[in-house]
Structure 1
Amino acid sequence: MIIAIDFDGTIVEQRYPKVGKEIPFACATLSMLQEDGHQLILWTYRAGRELEDAVEFCRSKGVEFYAVNKNYPEEVFDESISRKIKADLYIDDMNYGGLPDWGEIYAGINGLERKLSQRTRKKGFARLFR
């Protein structure tokens, strides 16, 4: 699954342009999601030095992103390409209802994967998305 994750207010407390304190279990959960085979995209308003600070903070905690503010590492944006990130799931503190606890997020992703896997086995992949 491709998962896009916001930084400020989601991985760390909101202190933009500084890097806030890590939200409990954020980086540990992201590491587990990577170990489970998910592709993580850092999806943030940050740019320039502030973006580098965010990437380095995550790297220091053992989280390496598949891509940063892009759909894939080699993507080059110009005026003709949308800046929208394509992902299967978006984790952001601005979600309706706010940011759940990272343990709830991990459990929810695992539950979603199990449901999709069960549906695929029961109905066949082609019928799953009709």
Structure 2
Amino acid sequence: MTIAVDFDGTIVEHRYPRIGKEMLFAFDTLKAMQKAGHLLILWTYRSGHELDEAVAYCQKRGIEFFAVNKSYPEEIFNENESSRKINADLFIDDRNVGGFYGWGEIWQELGLGNDEETRKIKQRMERAARRPWCNFFKTLFCKE
């Protein structure tokens, strides 16, 4: 699938124009999506320097997007001939009807990962869901 992913409020908490704190399991899930063969598009309000910062932030964490704010890498936006709407099979955005469900729900919905590495990530996600008072770091070390 081609999946469009928002940045602020979805990959990171809302702090625009700054970059907010990383959302729990965002990058684990994005990496699993890519490993499963999905094409990821960064679809965000950001532009210019703020967009460059967001792309670099994701690259530093191991995510390379198929395209950024367009349907495919070679697309050139021309407001007289093009629509700002992109072609994607799925949109992940905190502004969806019902809001953002969280990366754990997205992981489950897409049925990601059956190998050992993804099983371990899934177990950490499940522990975090059972223990909302644990942050991600503590979840790695919380005793059952």
Pick the TM interval, shorter chain.
0.7 to 0.9
Unaligned runs of 5+ residues in structure 1 are 112-130
Which aligned runs of 4 or more in structure 1 are off by greater than 3 angstroms? none
Structure 1 residue 107: Cα displacement = 1.1
Moved more, 96-105 or 32-41: 96-105
Q: Secondary structure at the match of 2:41?
A: strand
Q: Secondary structure at the match of 2:34?
A: helix
What percent identity do the matched residue pairs reach?
A: 59
Match of 1:106 in 2: 107
Q: Distance in 2 between matches of 1:96 and 1:75?
A: 29
Instruction: Provide Cα deviations, 1:48-72, integer angstroms capped at 9, x if missing partner.
Output: 0000000000001101100000100
Match of 1:31 in 2: 31
Match of 1:9 in 2: 9
Structure 1 residue 110: Cα displacement = 2.3
Instruction: State TM-score, norm by structure 2.
Output: 0.75
Q: Distance in 2 between matches of 1:34 and 1:103?
A: 16
Instruction: State TM-score, norm by structure 1.
Output: 0.83
What does residue range 1-130 of structure 1 map to in structure 2 within 5 Å? Answer: 1-78=1-78, 79-110=80-111
Instruction: Provide Cα deviations, 1:5-61, integer angstroms capped at 9, x if missing partner.
Output: 000000000000000010011011001100000000000000000000000000011
Q: Distance in 2 between matches of 1:89 and 1:67?
A: 14
Structure 1 residue 101: Cα displacement = 1.9
1:43 corresponds to which letter in structure 2? W
Q: Distance in 2 between matches of 1:25 and 1:8?
A: 15
Q: Secondary structure at the match of 1:63?
A: coil
Alignment root-mean-square deviation, CA: 1.0
